[in-house]
Amino acid sequence: MLKVLILATLFLPADEKATQIADQMMEALGGQENWDEARYIRFTNVRRERRATFTWDRHLGRLRIEAKNDGGIPFVILMNIQSRQGSAYVEGRQLQGKEHSEYLARGSRMWPGATYWFLMPFKWKDPGVTLTYDGEEEVGGVVYDKVHLTFDGVGRSPGDQYWAYVNRKTHLMDRWKFKLEAGAEGDYRWTGWRRHGGLRIATERVGAEETIRFEDVFIGDSIPEELFTSSETIKFP
């Protein structure tokens, strides 16, 4: 009976096989229930020595971004990612008018990319995402199932394409390749898997020319309310 089940799995249609891999991966990441219950997510993205900290209330869409602009001056954006309304501060000064609008637009641009780099394995079944099994590939003695992700009219660049390499033993995504709508291509290994709030998160993206890190990761159901209401520096956790 087991042999029959294995053979049936091997010969699933490409989309069903991809969905099965996605489900197995979600279990390895901590499970759908833990993901659904993860209300607050906070992390610092470190790329080319520039840091940006994001704090997200998944239930209400509230978002806090702390970073520095091109001149090295710190800013804070407090906004709702659904309404795209909120406030922005540079060195503690609340912005008005055109400056205010520009910084809210900046936050709207920063958030989707940062989220996807951080949480991509959890987002395979988002509305508009199409999963297709793209065969297996052995790299360094490890067998990977490849899944091709495309997007049906969703996101800022729906023409983007991703190829995820899922380790057949661990069911975690060890690598991804992508080709963006704008023409850029990339190939990164996902490493440094650690548990945070019942979920497994990869804390490094290692490419040929750079390593992107995610630090100060917090995932949980309680967080200081001031993070969404005050521009002051708030130490957490």
Task: Say how far apart CA 132 and CA 148 lie, in whole Å.
Answer: 5
- 210 located within any domain: yes
- Which of 51, 95, 61 lies closest to 77, judged by CA? 95
- Which of 164, 125, 121 lies closest to 146, judged by CA? 164
* SS3 at position 200: strand
- 233 located within any domain: no
CATH of the domain at 120: 2.50.20
Domain count across the chain? 1
| Tokens 């945070």 belong to residue | 196
* SS3 at position 113: helix
CA atoms within a 13 Å half-sphere pointing along the CA-CB vector of 160: 18
- 162 located within any domain: yes
| Tokens 């002051």 belong to residue | 232
- 235 located within any domain: no
70 C-beta neighbours (distance < 10 Å), count: 6
**Length of the chain measured in residues:** 237
Q: Per residue in 93-138, pLDDT tens?
A: 999 999 999 999 999 999 999 999 999 999 999 999 999 999 999 9
| pTM for this predicted structure | 0.90
> Going residue by residue through the chain (237 aa), what tens digit of pLDDT does each one get?
433 333 344 445 659 999 999 999 999 999 999 999 999 999 999 999 899 999 999 999 999 999 999 999 999 999 999 999 999 999 999 999 999 999 999 999 999 999 999 999 999 999 999 999 999 999 999 999 999 999 987 777 889 999 999 999 999 999 999 999 999 999 999 999 999 999 999 999 999 999 999 999 999 999 999 999 999 999 888
Domain of residue 206 covers 2-228
- 237 located within any domain: no
- 234 located within any domain: no
